[in-house]
Chain A
Amino acid sequence: MSAINLLIDIVLLTMLVFTTIAIVRSRSLFAIVMLSGIYSLLSANIFVVLDAVDVAFTEAAVGAGISTVLMLATIGITGYEQKKRRSISRITPLIVVFITGAVLVYGTLDMPAFTNPSNPVHEHVAPRFIEQSPTEVGIPNMVTSVLASYRGYDTMGEVIVVFAALIGVLSLLGIREKKTDPVYTEPPPRPILQVMAKFMIPFIILFALYVQFHGDFGPGGGFQAGVIFSVAIILYTLTFSQQDAMDLVPPWVLKRLAALGVLIYGGTGVVSLLKGGNFLDYNVLAHDPIHGQHYGILIIEFGVGLTVACVMILIFFAFISRGDKNP
Protein backbone atom coordinates (compact mmCIF):
# COMPACT_ATOMS: atom_id res chain seq x y z
CA MET A 1 0.00 0.00 0.00
CA SER A 2 1.41 3.36 -0.91
CA ALA A 3 2.39 5.72 1.88
CA ILE A 4 -0.39 8.17 1.16
CA ASN A 5 -3.02 5.44 1.14
CA LEU A 6 -1.66 4.10 4.37
CA LEU A 7 -1.92 7.54 5.87
CA ILE A 8 -5.49 7.96 4.70
CA ASP A 9 -6.30 4.51 6.03
CA ILE A 10 -4.87 5.32 9.44
CA VAL A 11 -6.62 8.69 9.64
CA LEU A 12 -9.97 7.18 8.67
CA LEU A 13 -9.57 4.36 11.15
CA THR A 14 -8.79 6.86 13.88
CA MET A 15 -11.90 8.84 12.99
CA LEU A 16 -13.89 5.64 13.19
CA VAL A 17 -12.53 5.01 16.66
CA PHE A 18 -13.69 8.45 17.80
CA THR A 19 -17.10 8.00 16.21
CA THR A 20 -17.49 4.68 17.94
CA ILE A 21 -16.49 6.07 21.33
CA ALA A 22 -19.02 8.85 20.84
CA ILE A 23 -21.72 6.30 20.04
CA VAL A 24 -20.93 4.19 23.08
CA ARG A 25 -21.03 7.21 25.37
CA SER A 26 -23.90 9.19 23.91
CA ARG A 27 -27.37 9.25 25.44
CA SER A 28 -29.25 11.06 22.75
CA LEU A 29 -30.63 8.55 20.32
CA PHE A 30 -30.79 11.06 17.54
CA ALA A 31 -27.05 11.64 17.92
CA ILE A 32 -26.40 7.92 18.07
CA VAL A 33 -28.31 7.27 14.87
CA MET A 34 -26.61 10.11 13.02
CA LEU A 35 -23.21 8.99 14.28
CA SER A 36 -23.92 5.48 13.09
CA GLY A 37 -24.64 6.95 9.65
CA ILE A 38 -21.30 8.73 9.82
CA TYR A 39 -19.69 5.47 10.87
CA SER A 40 -21.03 3.80 7.75
CA LEU A 41 -19.85 6.63 5.53
CA LEU A 42 -16.36 6.52 7.04
CA SER A 43 -16.17 2.78 6.61
CA ALA A 44 -17.27 3.22 3.00
CA ASN A 45 -14.24 5.49 2.58
CA ILE A 46 -12.00 2.84 4.06
CA PHE A 47 -13.45 0.31 1.63
CA VAL A 48 -12.47 2.62 -1.23
CA VAL A 49 -8.93 2.89 0.10
CA LEU A 50 -8.82 -0.89 0.32
CA ASP A 51 -9.97 -1.20 -3.33
CA ALA A 52 -13.42 -2.53 -2.51
CA VAL A 53 -15.38 -0.03 -4.58
CA ASP A 54 -18.50 -2.13 -4.96
CA VAL A 55 -18.63 -2.71 -1.23
CA ALA A 56 -18.07 0.98 -0.54
CA PHE A 57 -20.93 1.84 -2.84
CA THR A 58 -23.25 -0.56 -1.09
CA GLU A 59 -22.19 0.43 2.40
CA ALA A 60 -22.78 4.10 1.60
CA ALA A 61 -26.20 3.43 0.09
CA VAL A 62 -27.32 0.97 2.74
CA GLY A 63 -25.52 1.88 5.95
CA ALA A 64 -25.51 5.64 5.60
CA GLY A 65 -28.72 5.75 3.56
CA ILE A 66 -31.51 3.25 4.06
CA SER A 67 -30.55 2.05 7.49
CA THR A 68 -30.28 5.60 8.85
CA VAL A 69 -33.66 6.48 7.35
CA LEU A 70 -35.26 3.44 8.95
CA MET A 71 -33.65 4.19 12.30
CA LEU A 72 -34.89 7.78 12.18
CA ALA A 73 -38.37 6.55 11.35
CA THR A 74 -38.18 4.22 14.34
CA ILE A 75 -36.98 6.77 16.86
CA GLY A 76 -39.73 9.06 15.55
CA ILE A 77 -42.07 6.51 17.09
CA THR A 78 -40.14 5.43 20.15
CA GLY A 79 -38.79 8.80 21.29
CA TYR A 80 -35.40 10.42 21.17
CA GLU A 81 -34.02 10.18 24.68
CA GLN A 82 -32.76 7.30 26.68
CA LYS A 83 -33.92 7.19 30.23
CA LYS A 84 -31.27 7.32 32.85
CA ARG A 85 -31.38 4.01 34.62
CA ARG A 86 -30.17 2.97 37.96
CA SER A 87 -26.66 1.77 37.64
CA ILE A 88 -26.38 -1.92 37.08
CA SER A 89 -23.34 -4.06 36.78
CA ARG A 90 -21.47 -3.70 33.54
CA ILE A 91 -18.92 -6.26 34.61
CA THR A 92 -20.37 -9.26 32.78
CA PRO A 93 -20.59 -7.59 29.37
CA LEU A 94 -17.12 -6.18 29.82
CA ILE A 95 -15.68 -9.59 30.65
CA VAL A 96 -17.41 -11.17 27.65
CA VAL A 97 -16.14 -8.43 25.36
CA PHE A 98 -12.60 -8.62 26.71
CA ILE A 99 -12.41 -12.36 26.29
CA THR A 100 -13.78 -12.17 22.76
CA GLY A 101 -11.39 -9.38 21.87
CA ALA A 102 -8.47 -11.22 23.41
CA VAL A 103 -9.24 -14.34 21.37
CA LEU A 104 -9.35 -12.21 18.24
CA VAL A 105 -6.09 -10.44 18.99
CA TYR A 106 -4.53 -13.80 19.75
CA GLY A 107 -5.87 -15.00 16.42
CA THR A 108 -4.37 -12.10 14.49
CA LEU A 109 -0.88 -12.81 15.81
CA ASP A 110 -0.51 -15.58 13.26
CA MET A 111 -2.60 -13.82 10.70
CA PRO A 112 -0.98 -13.43 7.30
CA ALA A 113 0.41 -9.90 7.08
CA PHE A 114 -1.82 -7.13 5.80
CA THR A 115 -1.58 -6.48 2.00
CA ASN A 116 1.09 -9.10 1.38
CA PRO A 117 0.40 -10.50 -2.12
CA SER A 118 1.69 -13.96 -1.22
CA ASN A 119 -0.95 -14.49 1.48
CA PRO A 120 -2.96 -17.68 1.16
CA VAL A 121 -6.03 -15.56 0.50
CA HIS A 122 -4.53 -14.40 -2.77
CA GLU A 123 -3.01 -17.70 -3.80
CA HIS A 124 -5.58 -20.42 -3.99
CA VAL A 125 -9.00 -19.53 -5.30
CA ALA A 126 -8.74 -15.85 -6.17
CA PRO A 127 -6.18 -16.01 -9.02
CA ARG A 128 -8.66 -17.73 -11.29
CA PHE A 129 -11.22 -15.01 -10.63
CA ILE A 130 -8.66 -12.36 -11.44
CA GLU A 131 -6.95 -13.99 -14.39
CA GLN A 132 -9.71 -15.89 -16.08
CA SER A 133 -13.02 -14.23 -15.29
CA PRO A 134 -12.61 -11.57 -18.01
CA THR A 135 -12.41 -14.36 -20.58
CA GLU A 136 -14.53 -17.07 -18.90
CA VAL A 137 -17.39 -14.81 -17.91
CA GLY A 138 -16.54 -12.03 -20.28
CA ILE A 139 -17.00 -8.92 -18.20
CA PRO A 140 -14.32 -6.68 -16.72
CA ASN A 141 -15.75 -6.19 -13.23
CA MET A 142 -14.50 -9.27 -11.40
CA VAL A 143 -16.72 -8.58 -8.42
CA THR A 144 -19.77 -8.82 -10.67
CA SER A 145 -18.43 -12.01 -12.26
CA VAL A 146 -17.92 -13.70 -8.93
CA LEU A 147 -21.13 -12.31 -7.46
CA ALA A 148 -23.41 -13.18 -10.34
CA SER A 149 -21.77 -16.24 -11.82
CA TYR A 150 -19.17 -18.14 -9.78
CA ARG A 151 -21.04 -17.55 -6.55
CA GLY A 152 -24.38 -16.74 -8.14
CA TYR A 153 -26.14 -19.09 -5.77
CA ASP A 154 -25.04 -17.05 -2.74
CA THR A 155 -26.46 -13.98 -4.40
CA MET A 156 -29.75 -15.74 -4.94
CA GLY A 157 -29.69 -16.50 -1.24
CA GLU A 158 -29.03 -12.83 -0.58
CA VAL A 159 -32.09 -11.82 -2.61
CA ILE A 160 -34.12 -14.30 -0.63
CA VAL A 161 -32.80 -12.84 2.63
CA VAL A 162 -34.10 -9.45 1.46
CA PHE A 163 -37.41 -11.07 0.62
CA ALA A 164 -37.49 -12.74 4.05
CA ALA A 165 -36.96 -9.33 5.67
CA LEU A 166 -39.92 -8.00 3.68
CA ILE A 167 -42.08 -10.88 4.88
CA GLY A 168 -41.02 -10.13 8.46
CA VAL A 169 -41.69 -6.41 8.26
CA LEU A 170 -45.05 -6.92 6.54
CA SER A 171 -46.00 -9.42 9.19
CA LEU A 172 -44.99 -7.11 12.04
CA LEU A 173 -46.07 -3.73 10.74
CA GLY A 174 -48.16 -4.14 7.61
CA ILE A 175 -48.80 -1.13 5.39
CA ARG A 176 -51.68 1.11 6.32
CA GLU A 177 -53.44 2.98 3.58
CA LYS A 178 -54.24 6.50 4.67
CA LYS A 179 -57.17 6.91 2.29
CA THR A 180 -59.41 4.73 4.39
CA ASP A 181 -58.68 6.76 7.50
CA PRO A 182 -61.55 9.23 8.06
CA VAL A 183 -59.48 11.76 10.01
CA TYR A 184 -56.75 11.80 7.41
CA THR A 185 -55.86 15.26 6.09
CA GLU A 186 -53.54 16.09 3.25
CA PRO A 187 -50.28 17.53 4.52
CA PRO A 188 -49.71 21.15 3.52
CA PRO A 189 -47.74 21.65 0.30
CA ARG A 190 -44.03 22.44 0.60
CA PRO A 191 -43.41 24.09 -2.74
CA ILE A 192 -39.65 24.64 -2.61
CA LEU A 193 -38.87 21.12 -1.48
CA GLN A 194 -41.34 19.66 -3.91
CA VAL A 195 -39.96 21.50 -6.90
CA MET A 196 -36.41 20.56 -5.96
CA ALA A 197 -37.42 16.94 -5.50
CA LYS A 198 -39.19 16.88 -8.84
CA PHE A 199 -36.01 18.16 -10.37
CA MET A 200 -33.79 15.60 -8.69
CA ILE A 201 -35.90 12.46 -8.95
CA PRO A 202 -35.43 11.90 -12.71
CA PHE A 203 -31.67 12.11 -12.25
CA ILE A 204 -31.72 9.68 -9.35
CA ILE A 205 -33.70 7.22 -11.42
CA LEU A 206 -31.40 7.71 -14.39
CA PHE A 207 -28.42 7.08 -12.13
CA ALA A 208 -30.10 3.94 -10.78
CA LEU A 209 -30.51 2.65 -14.31
CA TYR A 210 -26.90 3.45 -15.08
CA VAL A 211 -25.71 1.59 -12.00
CA GLN A 212 -27.99 -1.31 -12.90
CA PHE A 213 -26.70 -1.77 -16.42
CA HIS A 214 -23.15 -0.56 -16.02
CA GLY A 215 -22.41 -2.98 -13.19
CA ASP A 216 -20.56 -5.26 -15.61
CA PHE A 217 -17.98 -2.59 -16.30
CA GLY A 218 -17.79 -0.45 -13.21
CA PRO A 219 -18.83 -0.63 -9.60
CA GLY A 220 -22.50 -1.26 -9.11
CA GLY A 221 -25.12 -3.80 -10.00
CA GLY A 222 -28.63 -4.80 -9.20
CA PHE A 223 -28.42 -4.35 -5.48
CA GLN A 224 -27.01 -0.84 -5.51
CA ALA A 225 -29.35 0.17 -8.33
CA GLY A 226 -32.35 -1.14 -6.43
CA VAL A 227 -31.38 0.85 -3.35
CA ILE A 228 -30.84 4.04 -5.37
CA PHE A 229 -34.15 3.61 -7.13
CA SER A 230 -35.90 3.21 -3.81
CA VAL A 231 -34.22 6.41 -2.63
CA ALA A 232 -35.99 8.28 -5.44
CA ILE A 233 -39.35 7.06 -4.16
CA ILE A 234 -38.36 7.75 -0.55
CA LEU A 235 -37.48 11.32 -1.49
CA TYR A 236 -40.83 11.66 -3.22
CA THR A 237 -42.61 10.30 -0.17
CA LEU A 238 -40.83 12.68 2.17
CA THR A 239 -41.47 15.81 0.13
CA PHE A 240 -45.00 15.01 -0.98
CA SER A 241 -46.94 12.55 1.16
CA GLN A 242 -47.11 8.89 1.75
CA GLN A 243 -50.46 8.76 0.02
CA ASP A 244 -49.07 10.42 -3.09
CA ALA A 245 -46.25 7.92 -3.19
CA MET A 246 -48.60 5.01 -2.67
CA ASP A 247 -50.77 6.24 -5.52
CA LEU A 248 -47.69 6.40 -7.70
CA VAL A 249 -46.35 2.96 -6.76
CA PRO A 250 -49.18 1.01 -5.13
CA PRO A 251 -47.97 -1.41 -2.43
CA TRP A 252 -49.93 -4.33 -3.87
CA VAL A 253 -48.00 -3.97 -7.13
CA LEU A 254 -44.69 -3.68 -5.29
CA LYS A 255 -45.41 -6.82 -3.28
CA ARG A 256 -45.99 -8.83 -6.41
CA LEU A 257 -42.94 -7.37 -8.13
CA ALA A 258 -40.75 -8.16 -5.12
CA ALA A 259 -41.77 -11.82 -5.31
CA LEU A 260 -41.41 -11.72 -9.08
CA GLY A 261 -37.80 -10.52 -8.82
CA VAL A 262 -36.91 -13.58 -6.75
CA LEU A 263 -38.68 -15.77 -9.29
CA ILE A 264 -36.80 -14.12 -12.17
CA TYR A 265 -33.53 -15.03 -10.48
CA GLY A 266 -34.63 -18.54 -9.64
CA GLY A 267 -36.30 -18.92 -13.03
CA THR A 268 -32.98 -18.25 -14.76
CA GLY A 269 -31.58 -21.14 -12.78
CA VAL A 270 -34.49 -23.36 -13.71
CA VAL A 271 -34.13 -22.48 -17.40
CA SER A 272 -30.45 -23.37 -17.36
CA LEU A 273 -31.42 -26.63 -15.66
CA LEU A 274 -33.96 -27.39 -18.38
CA LYS A 275 -31.41 -26.58 -21.05
CA GLY A 276 -29.18 -29.32 -19.73
CA GLY A 277 -26.82 -27.38 -17.48
CA ASN A 278 -26.56 -27.20 -13.74
CA PHE A 279 -28.69 -24.78 -11.74
CA LEU A 280 -27.60 -21.20 -12.61
CA ASP A 281 -25.13 -22.39 -15.28
CA TYR A 282 -25.47 -19.51 -17.72
CA ASN A 283 -23.21 -21.11 -20.33
CA VAL A 284 -26.11 -23.11 -21.70
CA LEU A 285 -28.40 -20.12 -22.11
CA ALA A 286 -27.01 -19.24 -25.53
CA HIS A 287 -24.97 -21.03 -28.19
CA ASP A 288 -21.89 -19.13 -27.22
CA PRO A 289 -21.06 -19.58 -23.51
CA ILE A 290 -19.86 -15.99 -23.19
CA HIS A 291 -23.17 -14.73 -24.57
CA GLY A 292 -24.93 -17.08 -22.23
CA GLN A 293 -23.04 -15.61 -19.29
CA HIS A 294 -23.97 -12.12 -20.48
CA TYR A 295 -27.68 -12.90 -20.74
CA GLY A 296 -27.66 -14.75 -17.45
CA ILE A 297 -25.98 -11.95 -15.54
CA LEU A 298 -28.18 -9.32 -17.14
CA ILE A 299 -31.35 -11.17 -16.22
CA ILE A 300 -30.41 -12.07 -12.67
CA GLU A 301 -29.14 -8.55 -11.96
CA PHE A 302 -32.52 -7.31 -13.14
CA GLY A 303 -34.21 -9.69 -10.73
CA VAL A 304 -31.98 -8.46 -7.91
CA GLY A 305 -32.65 -4.82 -8.72
CA LEU A 306 -36.40 -5.38 -8.93
CA THR A 307 -36.68 -7.21 -5.63
CA VAL A 308 -34.37 -4.88 -3.75
CA ALA A 309 -36.07 -1.71 -5.00
CA CYS A 310 -39.54 -2.99 -4.21
CA VAL A 311 -38.57 -4.39 -0.81
CA MET A 312 -36.81 -1.19 0.27
CA ILE A 313 -39.78 0.96 -0.74
CA LEU A 314 -42.24 -1.37 0.95
CA ILE A 315 -40.22 -1.52 4.16
CA PHE A 316 -40.03 2.27 4.16
CA PHE A 317 -43.80 2.53 3.61
CA ALA A 318 -44.39 0.08 6.43
CA PHE A 319 -42.26 2.11 8.83
CA ILE A 320 -43.72 5.51 8.08
CA SER A 321 -47.31 4.32 7.94
CA ARG A 322 -46.85 3.24 11.56
CA GLY A 323 -45.27 6.51 12.49
CA ASP A 324 -48.05 8.79 11.34
CA LYS A 325 -50.53 7.06 13.57
CA ASN A 326 -49.15 8.51 16.79
CA PRO A 327 -47.45 11.74 15.91
Chain B
Amino acid sequence: MILDLYNYWVVIFLMMSGFYTLIASNHLIKKIVGLNIFQSSVFMLYISMGKVAGGTAPIAAEGIDTYSNPLPHVLILTAIVVGIATTSLALALVIRIKESYDTVQENEILELDRISDEETQA
Protein backbone atom coordinates (compact mmCIF):
# COMPACT_ATOMS: atom_id res chain seq x y z
CA MET B 1 0.00 0.00 0.00
CA ILE B 2 2.67 2.49 1.06
CA LEU B 3 4.85 1.42 -1.85
CA ASP B 4 1.87 1.81 -4.16
CA LEU B 5 1.54 5.42 -3.22
CA TYR B 6 5.25 6.13 -2.84
CA ASN B 7 5.48 7.43 -6.38
CA TYR B 8 2.56 9.77 -5.91
CA TRP B 9 3.79 11.09 -2.59
CA VAL B 10 7.31 11.84 -3.74
CA VAL B 11 5.83 13.56 -6.75
CA ILE B 12 3.61 15.61 -4.44
CA PHE B 13 6.63 16.56 -2.37
CA LEU B 14 8.46 17.72 -5.51
CA MET B 15 5.40 19.57 -6.70
CA MET B 16 5.05 21.41 -3.43
CA SER B 17 8.76 22.30 -3.31
CA GLY B 18 8.39 23.81 -6.76
CA PHE B 19 5.23 25.60 -5.74
CA TYR B 20 6.94 26.94 -2.63
CA THR B 21 9.91 28.22 -4.65
CA LEU B 22 7.46 29.81 -7.03
CA ILE B 23 5.50 31.76 -4.46
CA ALA B 24 8.09 32.37 -1.75
CA SER B 25 11.16 33.25 -3.78
CA ASN B 26 12.14 36.85 -4.19
CA HIS B 27 14.14 36.43 -7.36
CA LEU B 28 12.15 36.35 -10.57
CA ILE B 29 14.31 33.73 -12.26
CA LYS B 30 14.20 31.47 -9.25
CA LYS B 31 10.43 31.79 -9.39
CA ILE B 32 10.51 30.54 -12.97
CA VAL B 33 12.70 27.59 -11.95
CA GLY B 34 10.14 26.86 -9.24
CA LEU B 35 7.40 27.01 -11.84
CA ASN B 36 9.27 24.51 -14.00
CA ILE B 37 9.68 22.10 -11.12
CA PHE B 38 6.05 22.50 -10.17
CA GLN B 39 4.96 21.74 -13.70
CA SER B 40 7.33 18.85 -14.38
CA SER B 41 6.19 17.10 -11.22
CA VAL B 42 2.61 17.42 -12.41
CA PHE B 43 3.83 15.74 -15.59
CA MET B 44 5.23 12.90 -13.46
CA LEU B 45 1.86 12.52 -11.78
CA TYR B 46 0.23 12.01 -15.16
CA ILE B 47 2.88 9.64 -16.44
CA SER B 48 2.67 7.58 -13.24
CA MET B 49 -1.01 7.06 -13.97
CA GLY B 50 -0.22 5.66 -17.37
CA LYS B 51 2.19 2.96 -16.24
CA VAL B 52 0.92 -0.61 -16.40
CA ALA B 53 2.68 -3.37 -14.50
CA GLY B 54 4.57 -5.54 -16.94
CA GLY B 55 3.85 -3.18 -19.80
CA THR B 56 6.26 -1.67 -22.29
CA ALA B 57 6.40 1.56 -24.20
CA PRO B 58 3.29 1.93 -26.35
CA ILE B 59 4.89 1.13 -29.68
CA ALA B 60 3.28 -1.90 -31.27
CA ALA B 61 5.73 -4.77 -31.74
CA GLU B 62 5.60 -8.50 -32.36
CA GLY B 63 5.15 -10.67 -29.34
CA ILE B 64 4.17 -7.94 -26.88
CA ASP B 65 0.65 -7.69 -25.59
CA THR B 66 0.85 -5.37 -22.61
CA TYR B 67 1.48 -1.73 -23.29
CA SER B 68 1.43 1.26 -21.00
CA ASN B 69 -1.31 3.77 -21.60
CA PRO B 70 -0.34 6.18 -24.42
CA LEU B 71 -2.92 8.85 -23.62
CA PRO B 72 -1.16 10.45 -20.61
CA HIS B 73 2.00 10.54 -22.70
CA VAL B 74 0.27 12.52 -25.40
CA LEU B 75 -1.24 14.94 -22.91
CA ILE B 76 2.10 15.53 -21.26
CA LEU B 77 3.88 16.05 -24.56
CA THR B 78 1.46 18.88 -25.14
CA ALA B 79 1.90 20.15 -21.60
CA ILE B 80 5.70 20.18 -21.88
CA VAL B 81 5.42 22.32 -24.97
CA VAL B 82 3.04 24.67 -23.20
CA GLY B 83 5.56 24.76 -20.34
CA ILE B 84 8.52 25.81 -22.48
CA ALA B 85 6.35 28.40 -24.21
CA THR B 86 5.42 29.90 -20.84
CA THR B 87 9.02 29.74 -19.62
CA SER B 88 10.42 31.55 -22.63
CA LEU B 89 7.80 34.27 -22.40
CA ALA B 90 8.47 34.64 -18.67
CA LEU B 91 12.22 34.88 -19.22
CA ALA B 92 11.73 37.49 -21.94
CA LEU B 93 9.65 39.51 -19.48
CA VAL B 94 12.40 39.17 -16.88
CA ILE B 95 14.96 40.59 -19.32
CA ARG B 96 12.71 43.56 -20.02
CA ILE B 97 12.07 44.06 -16.31
CA LYS B 98 15.81 44.02 -15.68
CA GLU B 99 16.31 46.64 -18.39
CA SER B 100 13.57 48.91 -17.08
CA TYR B 101 14.01 48.52 -13.33
CA ASP B 102 17.65 47.44 -13.16
CA THR B 103 16.76 44.70 -10.70
CA VAL B 104 15.11 41.31 -10.73
CA GLN B 105 14.42 41.12 -7.01
CA GLU B 106 10.68 41.20 -6.45
CA ASN B 107 10.74 43.31 -3.29
CA GLU B 108 12.80 46.03 -5.00
CA ILE B 109 10.51 46.06 -8.02
CA LEU B 110 7.43 46.35 -5.85
CA GLU B 111 9.08 49.20 -3.96
CA LEU B 112 9.86 51.03 -7.22
CA ASP B 113 6.29 50.45 -8.38
CA ARG B 114 4.96 51.84 -5.14
CA ILE B 115 7.02 55.00 -5.64
CA SER B 116 5.68 55.36 -9.20
CA ASP B 117 2.15 54.89 -7.91
CA GLU B 118 2.64 57.65 -5.40
CA GLU B 119 4.02 59.97 -8.04
CA THR B 120 0.94 59.39 -10.14
CA GLN B 121 -1.29 60.23 -7.21
CA ALA B 122 0.59 63.44 -6.48
Contact = CB atoms under 8 A, between A and B. Distances in A.
B95 to A, nearest CB: 5
For chain A, give the interface size range: 35 or more
Name the prevailing secondary structure of the B interface residues: helix
B122 interface: no
Contact of A158 (B8, B21, B82, B94): B82
A78 B98 contact: yes
B29 A17 contact: no
B93 A223 contact: no
B91 to A, nearest CB: 5
B37 A20 contact: yes
B70 A39 contact: no
A90 to B, nearest CB: 6
Contacts of A121: 49-50, 69, 71-72
Contacts of B96: 172-173
Contacts of A93: 20, 23-24
Interface in B19-36: 19-21, 23-24, 26-30, 32-34, 36
Given A74-B94, A78-B94, A125-B71, A104 B40 contact: no
Given A17-B13, A117-B53, A169-B88, A111 B8 contact: yes
A62 B80 contact: yes
Given A130-B58, A319-B92, 13 more contacts: A32-B30, A52-B50, A55-B76, A58-B80, A66-B84, A73-B91, A90-B24, A96-B23, A117-B52, A117-B53, A130-B69, A173-B95, A315-B92
Contacts of B21: 23-24
6 contacts: A1-B54, A50-B48, A67-B84, A78-B29, A130-B67, A140-B60
Contacts of A46: 44, 47
Nearest to A49: B51
* 3 A-B pairs with least C-beta separation: A165-B85, A93-B24, A51-B68
A117 B66 contact: yes
B12 A104 contact: yes
A111 B4 CA distance: 10
A59 B41 CA distance: 12
B109 interface: no
Interface in A139-186: 140-143, 145-147, 151, 154-155, 157-158, 161-162, 164-165, 168-169, 172-173
A53 B27 contact: no
Contacts of B105: 82-83, 85
A50 B47 contact: yes
Interface string A60-77: 001100110011011101
Given A16-B14, A71-B33, A319-B91, A158 B78 contact: yes
A16 B28 CA distance: 23
Given A13-B7, A140-B61, A172-B96, A67 B19 contact: no
Nearest to A164: B85
Interface of B: 3-21, 23-24, 26-30, 32-34, 36-37, 40-41, 43-44, 47-61, 66-78, 80-89, 91-96, 98, 104-105, 107
Best-buried of B13, B34, B96 by chain A (most CB within 10 Å)? B13
B33 A223 contact: no
Interface of A: 1-2, 6, 9-10, 13-14, 16-17, 20-21, 23-24, 29, 32-33, 36, 39-40, 43, 46-47, 50-55, 58-59, 62-63, 66-67, 70-71, 73-75, 77-79, 82-83, 85, 88, 90, 93-94, 96-98, 100-101, 104-105, 108-109, 111-117, 119, 121-122, 125-126, 129-130, 133-134, 140-143, 145-147, 151, 154-155, 157-158, 161-162, 164-165, 168-169, 172-173, 217-219, 223, 315, 318-319, 322
B92 A168 contact: yes
Contacts of B11: 13
Contacts of A134: 60
Nearest to B59: A141
Contacts of A90: 24
Contacts of B51: 1, 50-51, 114-115
Contact of A126 (B9, B70, B88): B70
